[in-house]
Structure 1
């Protein structure tokens, strides 16, 4: 398959470079190559797997919507406690090994300096730019959380209505415009058939698409389908054009063009890709500031999969120190 690799060279400036005590260039003096180290890891992965953009966007969203953007989604479960990773919505989250690689390289260059939460944020931005999306400035300075509980995971679902989904987004300080914009990330996303099989007989789905997806989902397994059937690996505004043609795969996606509150925004983004890109950059920066830990709160993990205290405890048990 011939995949189009696009790098957006236009750097979009967010509404503000200082949000919630985060700032652009936070590591300029303590780890000046931090962002370039992360970028190299993302570029290497994207060359062979352009689907990593969707994976990182999902990871970032699932992290920020549970206890804030604190990398709590990265913690591995132990025999004593189940972490966020074990919650049903997170069982198909992927890309953890990319974060591990970036962290390993950063620890070699600047030990105990760059947080895992910032790595997720930077890597997501870089993957979006590689797929053709905006290359926006990312305020950094997040610290890593000290809690990760399976029971805390409560995310908006694919079968939500616009009003139901908006309640979840509003609880995080995000607006309807933010929600419609962020769901535009589905332009590079996929979903398992189990999440949309009930829509295949819906009068709000284009019959041709329904026929195509019925074939995809006809096997006994639970395969995936692209949420944007047009430019599936390119980060553009085609998702909005698709839902306006009743080609939204997920219920919530299609509802964006049917609900009178969100329909004008969908139409605007469908007509103007540049407006969508700028709105997406702003919304991502805003989402990335949800309940962040800064200053002396939290910690800077040495291993993104475990709290530092647990790492030290395990090391003592092994006689390392």
Structure 2
């Protein structure tokens, strides 16, 4: 199947094509983010309201020629991404506006969209993120995401220094915190190994103490916040030194056996991830354990065996979509990992083929 053109007027049809085969066909499922509804009338929405509005903003871009191919959200530049779960339910992420909106203005736009839902970001977190981005060189600024109409915001974190000349190391051993500080405090200190975390960002002690055990050279890249669920996620880029360096962090976060689950779930075990660029997410809510996941490019996970992706994520079978990222959710007890996979439309003129 050849995908529709994904310039601005074609963004909606491309998104609808992505979600149409997924779980659910009724209007109630659309509200829950379970799938695309079959319209019973000319004005009925085929997408959840929040996603429908996001697509409308993108299609109204002042730069329609590039509105479907400029984004850093997906490998193809498409400004909407759909994440498919094993039960074929789905979530979505999108740019907050077309390419004409400068990156420094995107966080404010995303926060205003959250405010409209009645679940604004807590003031301390909001201020920390706004202050962190001020005056920095940004790559994407912020994205919005949701399951159905429940919104979350993804905020870019950057290791670039706030003050001229204040160098922040991107790898190797960074300076530790001041004498007498705890590992948790050192992790968040401007001179510590996680110096890209925004000063003043509220972190529970159980989170900060775990982050302090991440390998040197780990770089914070993004914060996700879903106020309606009081859920926060931090996303990191890992070093290429191997997953063995994660063991102190895994033990500190109650996931000491997690690599055993990876070993049992992947062809070639954890060696399948060797030499690949990996991301890590750490998620927490007001109560409950930390949740950890690894992220890897679908293209690089099975470069010589595209069918391997379908064996790992059979719920992608039959989708006319380009796989983007594979999420490996780690199990604290070492059981098999669960997976999610994000997809986007193929570029203009591409062909649908899973695993590439």
Comparing both chains, which one has the higher relative contact order based on Cα–Cα distances under 8 Å and sequence gaps of 6 or more? 1
**Whose helix fraction is larger, Structure 1's or Structure 2's?**
1
TM-score by length of structure 2 reads 0.26
TM-score by length of structure 1 reads 0.28
